[in-house]
Amino acid sequence: TQLLEQSPQFLSIQEGENLTVYCNSSSVFSSLQWYRQEPGEGPVLLVTVVTGGEVKKLKRLTFQFGDARKDSSLHITAAQPGDTGLYLCAGKGALTGGGNKLTFGTGTQLKVEL
């Protein structure tokens, strides 16, 4: 069974602060995706990272895939209240037989206060 552990589980910060969310696994994934989920809604894709060591930027969000493709991080610069939500990492195609399904992480609930 592939597991993706996210840390921290909860994060409450002030507007303007920077933060990093981590996603770690003992499994190697062919790609890793980050989603954001609002209450009562489905996950919405933010980014897909494929290559070990890859860094992608989406405005104030920076995503990195670990060299060994087992871990990833999401860094938010100058957080805003609109960034509040549940952030999920999801690995695809684990080499240990995960096929094409997504294995979701445990989630990080972010709250950005004024």
Partner 1 sequence: EPEVTQTPSHQVTQMGQEVILRCVPISNHLYFYWYRQILGQKVEFLVSFYNNEISEKSEIFDDQFSVERPDGSNFTLKIRSTKLEDSAMYFCASRGRRANYGYTFGSGTRLTVV
Q: Which residues are at the interface with partner 1 (CB under 8 A)? A: 30-31, 33, 35, 40-45, 48, 50, 88, 90, 92-93, 99-107
Closer Cβ to partner 1, 47 or 79, answer by number = 47
Least Å distance, CB 104 to partner 1, is 4
Tokens read off for 64: 């990195």
Distance CA 77, CA 109 (A): 17
- The answer to whether 67 and 12 are in contact (CB under 8 A) is no
Closer Cβ to partner 1, 90 or 110, answer by number = 90
